[in-house]
């Protein structure tokens, strides 16, 4: 596919806009179906692998309105049901089609606090766009209405037009809530709880905020400025932020409640310990977890080799193990850091890959080589302990397993060698033990994930949890959804306490 510039793409959109917008109220379903999907403008692949700027540039106004007109406002609205936070998708899209961008943002914000983030990182093709009626007409999920792109468009429009409204905050209640971790779940809890007038403190282990959105997701997919802006909004509404504070170490969760007087605690510490394959050679120099690789590059800014003190490998040939978003991020970061060849090594096929569709396409455009039905068997090194090769094994797909995905089966004798100097392991995370090991009474499952009830409450009174520490490794939007639920439960708990205290006084 040849690359199109924003101008070229916008010219096409303008043609449709000029033709359709004047008669937008008369458009029939069959007219709407005929409108082609608008292309997401992106940086030229050849240029973008040399910089860290955002790859997807975002819709132009013409494109947004035309794409919005593709929505047929079907009565079944599967998009609302398939959204983890149930945004009223048809309504916000209708507003865009009517050129009312502020109105559209307002609709989204009733359900989601961080649309500029979700519009960028949600796996829309397996959520809101999955069962879109327009996509169903074509039997092609890629032809669904571009809900995520529209969400991003209006959120960006609001930021750039300086009309971001601060959420309203109710009068102070005197109740104190601690939020542990400043990732997507924690930020949502902080906002929702603060808005009810409770005082909120976020405790973050790192020196910068945003959790996985800062250390994990790279700048070229989610710019730090956007995360900063969301955090800034929280500061402006009075949320207190303590960085370099590891709950469970700097202070235990129990002490926060018993000594420091927090009335409720939300634990959103995220996925913790990176998993390794358990194969020979995994401790050689040049084998890193994707967490380490991305944290060095993103949070510690090692991509800026000239200024950053934190070193990162000068890799030439890289193999990334895994098929999720983290694997895509790591492979594309390696390319940007100067690797000449980058392989994604994945046991199943492209169809089963859990990564967001757009990230896979972007990675392919950037020249990442995908080795499907392949897995690492062992890693080989030289006498100084540096990685030189990886032995791989070919796989075929067998019968579906419990997860419904076809089980990959190793093909005996299919071993082959890949010359590599770096292996990045991106096969997921175990759970971090820092809180569970230092908090008596908090129960975890056999993978170490904190057990919660339907309201995100843990086995400890007044302690809630959500996001990856509960889910294992999931997505930003699922973490936000859990944060939402937890905040609601915390607000209810505090409201009840305030009522009871009033009765005692009377």
Partner 1 sequence: MAKILHKEQLSENVFLMRLEAPLIAEERKAGQFIMLQIDLDYGERIPLTIADADKEEGSITIIYQVVGLTTDELSRMEVGDDIPVLVGPLGKPTHVENFGTVVCVGGGIGVAPLHPIAQAMKEAGNKVIIIMGARNKELMIMEEDMKKIADELIIVTDDGSYGRKALVTEPLKEICERPEKPDLAVAIGPPIMMKFCSKTTEPYNVPTVVSLNTIMVDGTGMCGGCRVNVGGEVKFVCVDGPEFDGHQVDFDNMMARLNSFKEIEQEKHKCYLDKIIEKKLADQKKEAKG
Q: Hey, which residues between 186 and 205 contact partner 1 (CB under 8 A)?
A: 205
Instruction: Please select the residue that binds partner 1; options are 61, 100, 228, 292, rule is CB under 8 A.
Output: 292
E strands, 353-475, are: 369-371, 374-381, 387-400, 406-410, 416-419, 422-425, 429-431, 463-465
Which residue stretch of 100-108, 110-118, 167-175, 278-286 sits at the interface with partner 1 (rule: CB under 8 A)? 278-286
Q: What does the alpha-carbon distance between residue 361 and residue 65 come to, in Å, rounded to a whole number?
A: 25
Choose which of 29, 273, 409, 451 interacts with partner 1 (CB under 8 A): 273
Q: Minimum distance between the CB of residue 252 and partner 1, rounded to whole angstroms?
A: 8
Closer to partner 1 by Cβ: residue 30 or 307: 307
| CA–CA dist 423, 387 (Å, integer) | 8
Closest to 419 in 3D by CA, of 384, 392, 385, 383: 392
CA–CA distance, 251 with 438 (Å, rounded to integer): 10
CB of 208 to partner 1, least distance (A): 8
| 480-505 b/e (C-beta count within 10 Å ≥ 16 → b) | bbbbbbbbbbbbebbeeebeeeeeee
CB of 441 to partner 1, least distance (A): 20
Binding part of the chain for partner 1, among 48-56, 91-99, 284-292, 320-328 by CB under 8 A, reads 284-292
> Using CB under 8 A, which of the segments 23-31, 151-159, 280-288, 330-338 binds partner 1?
280-288
When the beta carbons of 112 and 432 are compared against partner 1, the nearer one is 432
CB nearer partner 1, residue 174 or residue 385: 385
Measure the CA–CA gap between 172 and 420, rounded to whole angstroms: 58
Residues 297-336 that bind partner 1 (CB under 8 A): 300-301, 304, 307-314
Q: Which is nearer to partner 1, 92 or 313 (CB)?
A: 313
x/- map, 9-28, partner 1, by CB under 8 A: --------------------
Pick from 31, 228, 282, 352 the residue near partner 1 by CB under 8 A: 282
From 123-131, 295-303, 372-380, 480-488, span contacting partner 1 (CB under 8 A): 295-303
Least distance (Å) from partner 1 to the CB of residue 258?
A: 14
What is the distance between the alpha carbons of residues 82 and 176, in angstroms, rounded to a whole number?
Answer: 34
Distance (Å, whole) CA 372 – CA 323: 9
CB 267 within 8 A of CB 458: yes
CB of 433 to partner 1, least distance (A): 6
Q: Provide the sign of the torsion angle of the four alpha carbons 354, 359, 364, 366, taken in this order.
A: negative
Distance in angstroms (rounded) separating the CA atoms of residues 236 and 230: 10
* Rounded Cα–Cα distance for residues 226 and 353 (Å): 28
CB of 432 to partner 1, least distance (A): 5
Stretch that binds partner 1, among 98-106, 158-166, 285-293, 409-417 (CB under 8 A): 285-293
CA dist list (Å): 235 to 27, 246, 416? 45, 20, 54
Binding mask 434-453 for partner 1 (x = CB under 8 A): x-------------------
| Residue nearer to partner 1 on the CB measure, 398 or 433 | 433
283 is a site residue for partner 1 (CB under 8 A): yes
- Interior angle at CA 504, CA 499 and CA 506, nearest 5: 95
Instruction: Give the β-pairing of 422-425 and 264-267.
Output: unpaired
- Shortest CB 308 distance to partner 1, Å: 5
**CA 235 – CA 166 distance, rounded (Å):** 11
* Closer to partner 1 by Cβ: residue 315 or 375: 315
Residues in binding contact with partner 1, number by CB under 8 A: 41
CA distance 216 to 333: 11
The mark string for 216-245 relative to partner 1 (x by CB under 8 A, - otherwise) is ----------------------------xx
Contacts of 19 (CB under 8 A, 6+ apart): none
- Considering the complex, state which of residue 76 and residue 283 has its C-beta at the smaller distance from partner 1: 283
| Structure tokens that stand for 356 in this block | 């967001």
Q: Which is nearer to partner 1, 371 or 434 (CB)?
A: 434
Residue 53: alpha-carbon gap to chain centroid:
18
Calpha distance 224→217 (Å, rounded)? 9
C-alpha 330: how far from chain center:
14
In the complex with partner 1, the residue whose CB is nearer, 382 or 501, is: 382
Q: Smallest distance from the beta carbon of 354 to partner 1, in angstroms? A: 21
Q: In the numeric block, which tokens belong to residue 129?
A: 């766009």
Place of tokens 């409720």: 264
Among 250, 445, 455, 459, which residue interacts with partner 1 (rule: CB under 8 A)? Answer: 250
Site for partner 1 in 379-408 (CB under 8 A): 384-385
- Residues near partner 1, by CB under 8 A: 205-207, 215, 244-246, 249-251, 272-274, 276, 278, 282-283, 285-286, 288-289, 291-292, 295-296, 300-301, 304, 307-314, 384-385, 432-434
């Amino acid at each position: 596919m040849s690359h199109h510039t924003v101008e070229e793409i916008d010219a096409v959109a303008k043609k449709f806009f000029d033709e359709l917008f004047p008669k937008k109220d008369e458009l029939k379903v069959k007219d709407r179906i005929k409108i082609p999907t608008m292309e997401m403008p992106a940086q030229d692949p050849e240029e973008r692998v040399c910089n860290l700027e955002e790859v997807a540039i975002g819709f132009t106004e013409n494109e947004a309105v035309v794409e919005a007109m593709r929505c047929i406002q079907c009565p079944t609205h599967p998009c609302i049901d398939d959204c983890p936070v149930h945004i009223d998708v048809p309504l916000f899209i209708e507003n865009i089609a009517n050129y009312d961008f502020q109105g559209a943002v307002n609709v989204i914000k009733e359900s989601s606090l961080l649309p500029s983030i979700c519009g960028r990182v949600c796996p829309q093709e397996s959520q809101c766009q999955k069962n879109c009626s327009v996509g169903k007409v074509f039997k092609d999920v890629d032809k669904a209405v571009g809900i995520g792109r529209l969400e991003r468009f209006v959120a960006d429009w609001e930021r750039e037009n300086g009309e971001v409204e601060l959420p309203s905050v109710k009068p102070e209640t005197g109740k104190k809530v601690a939020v542990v971790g400043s990732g997507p779940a924690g930020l949502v809890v902080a906002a929702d709880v603060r808005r009810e007038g409770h005082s909120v403190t976020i405790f973050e282990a790192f020196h910068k905020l945003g959790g996985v959105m800062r250390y994990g997701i790279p700048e070229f997919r989610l710019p730090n400025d956007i995360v900063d802006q969301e955090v800034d909004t929280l500061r402006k509404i009075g949320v207190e932020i303590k960085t370099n504070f590891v709950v469970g170490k700097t202070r235990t969760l129990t002490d926060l409640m018993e000594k420091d007087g927090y009335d409720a605690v939300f634990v959103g510490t995220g996925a913790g310990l990176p998993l390794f394959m358990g194969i020979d050679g995994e401790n050689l120099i040049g084998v890193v977890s994707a967490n380490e690789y991305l944290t060095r590059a993103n949070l510690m800014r090692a991509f800026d080799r000239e200024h950053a003190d934190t070193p990162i490998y000068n890799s030439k040939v890289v193999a990334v193990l895994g098929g999720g978003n983290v694997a895509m991020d790591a492979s594309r970061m390696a390319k940007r850091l100067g690797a000449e060849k980058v392989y994604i090594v994945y046991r199943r096929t492209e169809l089963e890959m859990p990564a967001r569709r757009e990230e896979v396409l972007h990675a392919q455009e950037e020249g990442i080589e995908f080795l499907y039905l392949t897995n690492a068997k062992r890693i080989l090194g030289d006498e100084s302990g540096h990685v030189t090769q990886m032995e791989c094994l070919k796989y075929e797909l067998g019968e579906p397993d419990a997860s419904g995905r076809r089980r990959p089966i190793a093909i005996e004798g299919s071993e082959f060698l890949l010359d590599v100097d770096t292996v990045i392991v991106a096969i997921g995370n175990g759970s971090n033990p820092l809180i569970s090991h230092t908090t008596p009474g908090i129960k975890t499952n056999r993978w170490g994930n904190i057990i919660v009830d339907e309201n995100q409450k843990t086995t400890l009174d007044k302690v809630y949890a959500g996001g990856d520490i509960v889910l294992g490794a999931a997505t930003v939007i699922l973490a936000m959804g859990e944060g939402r639920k937890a905040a609601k439960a915390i607000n209810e708990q505090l409201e009840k306490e305030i009522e009871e205290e009033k009765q005692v006084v009377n």
